[in-house]
Amino acid sequence: MKNMIKAKKKYGQNFLKDSSILDKIVQSMPTNTKHIVEIGPGLGDLTDKLVKYKDVTAYEIDTDLVSILKSKFAIQIHSKKLKLIHTDVLKIWNEKDTLHDGNYDLIANLPYYIATNIILRAYEDRNCKNIIVMMQKEVALKFVAKTDCKEFSSLSVLTKLFSSEARILFDVPSQSFVPPPKVTSSVLFISKSKHIKVDDDFKKFLKISFSQPRKKLIKNLSVMVDKNIIISIINELELNENIRPHQVSASLYSQLYIKVKNAKRDSTN
């Protein structure tokens, strides 16, 4: 491999080596945001294309890669076109609530082991405006799934709440990477709408709602409040008592949450 670097599995390293795919990602960038945050620049192939268009802040965890990147991009780092930060990106999000002080788009070939977590953190980051990321296709489908599809999940509900648009731009075969991953990848585009705050209890509520995805929603929610109360809430919302978790829309989940929360409060008073 180029630079004689051995890909580290623990950091989810699959380097994208297909120049036509890299070009397609760059061409998909929205034009209105001026700054880009890249998570995991790796050997810098995507970074190299991104810095030609916009200023980039890149977060890389791997010490060996950081030293390669520092020499490869010495000019861009010196001219401040590229800010290279050697760290675990999740640590930054734990310490501060944003990856960049100013609006930015997140563009990355994500390390798959933390891809979902990264997108959920980006939803909460008020400065992140658009997300264009490569990830495992199977997981990407969960983010964009519509109500009634079997992939519809808590990730789909959260995406509906945080975004104005979410779609898969294109798939990328495993041969485009070195080393090739075992799965097909997809490039996902998410445009965030206004910044909203989703409370942690709502996320827990979604987790419980989808805990057994093929069972009835009533059964899943019965661990929170008495089953008869859940049945009356389901009836109030004019939903079918046999409804499964993937058949309820994001806006109905918001309404259900408030009613279940109130019922829970009343039952403990």
Residue with smaller CB distance to ligand SAM, 189 or 202: 189
DSSP label at residue 113: G
Using alpha carbons only, how large is the chain's radius of gyration in Å?
Answer: 21
Q: How far is the CB of 75 from ligand SAM (least distance, A)?
A: 20
Identity of the residue numbered 201:
D
Residue with smaller CB distance to ligand SAM, 59 or 210: 59
Q: How far is the CB of 94 from ligand SAM (least distance, A)?
A: 11
**Residue 136: helix, strand or coil by DSSP?**
strand
Q: How far is the CB of 139 from ligand SAM (least distance, A)?
A: 14
Residues 212 and 228: their CA atoms lie apart, in Å, by 19
Residues 34 and 38: their CA atoms lie apart, in Å, by 13
Residue with smaller CB distance to ligand SAM, 2 or 203: 2
Residue with smaller CB distance to ligand SAM, 55 or 60: 60
φ and ψ at residue 35, rounded to 5 degrees? -115, 145
Q: How far is the CB of 213 from ligand SAM (least distance, A)?
A: 28
Residues that bind ligand SAM (CB under 6 A): 11-16, 39-43, 45-46, 59-62, 65, 88-90, 109, 111, 114
The residue sitting closest to ligand SAM, measured at its beta carbon, is: 40
Residues 239 and 247: their CA atoms lie apart, in Å, by 10
**Residue 82: helix, strand or coil by DSSP?**
strand
